[in-house]
Structure 1
Amino acid sequence: MSKGRRSSKNGPTRRALLGGGAVLCTTLALPGIAKSQPGPRRQQPETGPPPVVFVHGNGDSSALWINNLWRFEANGYKRNQLFAIDFIYPSARSDDSKPQPLRSSAEDQMKELTSFVVQVLKATRRRKVALVGSSRGGNAIRSLLKNGGGADMVSHAVLCGTPNKGIVISDQLLVGSEFNGAFPFLKGLNEGPDDLIPGVEMMAIRSDRNDKYSQPDGRFIGAPGKPTGVSYDASELRGARNVVLEGLDHREVAFHKLAFAAMFEHITGKPPGSMFIAQEPLPILNGKVTGLSEGVYTNIPVAGAEVEIFEVDARTGERKSAVALLRKTTGEDGVWGPFVGRADAHYEFVLRIQGLPTTHTYRSPFLRSSDVVHLRPQPFAKADEGAGAVTIMSRPRGYFGIGRDKFSLDGKVPPGINDGVPGVSMGRLAFDAVPPRTVMAVFNNETIPTRTWPARDGHIVVAEFLN
Structure 2
Amino acid sequence: MHSRRTLLLGAPPVLAGLLASPALLLTACANAPTAMPSLADRPPIVFVHGNGDSAALWQTTLWRFESNGWPRERLFAFDQPLPLARDDDGVAQAGRSSTAESAAFLKDRVEQVLRATGAARVVLIGNSRGGNTIRNYVQNGGGAAVASHVVLGGNPAHGIWAVPGLRENNEFSGLSPFMRQLNAPKGPNGDEVTPGVKWLTLRSDNNDKYAQPDGLWIGSPGKPTNIGFDGPALKGATNIVLPRVDHRETSFSPAAFAATWQFLTGEAPRSPEIAREANVVLDGRAIGAENQSLAGAQVLVYAVDPATGRRLGEPVHRKTIGADGRWGPFSARPDAAYEFVLDTQASVTHVYRSPFPRGSSLVNLRLDPIVPADGSANAVAVFTRPRGYFDAQRDTMRFDGKSPPAGVPPKGAGVSSSRLRETGSEPQRAVTGEFNGERLTGLTWPAVKGHVTVLELTY
Aligned partner of 1:453 in structure 2 is: 445
Deviation, 1:10, is 5.1
| Cα distance in 2 between the residues matched to 1:282 and 1:310 | 18
1:46–1:126 CA contact under 8 A, matched in 2: no
Cα distance per residue 1:88-124 (max 9 Å; x no partner): 1111000101000110001111111011111111111
| Cα distance in 1 between the residues matched to 2:92 and 2:72 | 37
Over 3 Å counting, the alpha-carbon distance change for 1:101 and 1:10 in structure 2 is: farther
Task: Give 1:364's match in structure 2, choosing from 354, 363, 371.
Answer: 354
Aligned partner of 1:27 in structure 2 is: none
Task: Give 2:215's match in structure 1, choosing from 214, 218, 235.
Answer: 218
Aligned partner of 1:418 in structure 2 is: 409
Aligned partner of 1:5 in structure 2 is: none
TM-score (norm 1): 0.89
Task: Give 1:271's match in structure 2, choosing from 268, 273, 278.
Answer: 268
2:144–2:197 CA contact under 8 A, matched in 1: yes
Aligned partner of 2:344 in structure 1 is: 353
2:39–2:70 CA contact under 8 A, matched in 1: no
| Cα distance in 2 between the residues matched to 1:269 and 1:199 | 18
Question: How many residues of Structure 1 are paired with residues of Structure 2 in the alignment?
Answer: 431
| Cα distance in 1 between the residues matched to 2:8 and 2:309 | 45
Deviation, 1:433, is 4.5
Q: Does 1:402 align with 2:392?
A: yes
* 3-state secondary structure, aligned to 2:17: coil
Aligned partner of 2:25 in structure 1 is: none
Aligned partner of 2:255 in structure 1 is: 258
- Report 1:127-206 matches (<5 A): 127-192=120-185, 193-206=190-203
- Report 1:90-105 matches (<5 A): 90-105=83-98
Aligned partner of 1:40 in structure 2 is: none
Task: Give 1:318's match in structure 2, choosing from 302, 305, 310.
Answer: 310
Counterpart residue identity of residue 231, structure 1: G
* 3-state secondary structure, aligned to 1:110: helix
Task: Give 2:379's match in structure 1, choosing from 379, 389, 396.
Answer: 389
Deviation, 1:13, is 6.8
- Report 1:226-305 matches (<5 A): 226-291=223-288, 297-305=289-297
TM-score (norm 2): 0.90
Cα distance per residue 1:46-81 (max 9 Å; x no partner): 963321110000011110000000010111111111
Q: Which ranges in structure 1 are unaligned for 5 or more consecutive residues?
A: 1-7, 21-43, 292-296
1:12–1:240 CA contact under 8 A, matched in 2: no
Over 3 Å counting, the alpha-carbon distance change for 1:195 and 1:433 in structure 2 is: farther
Deviation, 1:430, is 2.1
* 3-state secondary structure, aligned to 1:70: helix
Deviation, 1:443, is 0.6
Task: Give 1:72's match in structure 2, choosing from 34, 57, 65.
Answer: 65
Aligned partner of 1:438 in structure 2 is: 430
Cα distance per residue 1:164-211 (max 9 Å; x no partner): 011011223233110101010000001112223222110000000000
Deviation, 1:258, is 0.5
2:300–2:317 CA contact under 8 A, matched in 1: yes
Q: Which ranges in structure 2 are unaligned for 5 or more consecutive residues?
A: 20-36
Q: Does 1:86 align with 2:79?
A: yes
* 3-state secondary structure, aligned to 2:290: strand
Single out whichever of 263-272 and 67-76 deviates more from structure 2: 263-272
| Cα distance in 1 between the residues matched to 2:249 and 2:8 | 18
Aligned identity (percent) is 47
Task: Give 1:9's match in structure 2, choosing from 4, 12, 16.
Answer: 4
* 3-state secondary structure, aligned to 2:262: helix
Aligned partner of 2:364 in structure 1 is: 374
Task: Give 2:115's match in structure 1, choosing from 107, 118, 122.
Answer: 122
| Cα distance in 1 between the residues matched to 2:5 and 2:209 | 21
Task: Give 2:332's match in structure 1, choosing from 329, 336, 341.
Answer: 341
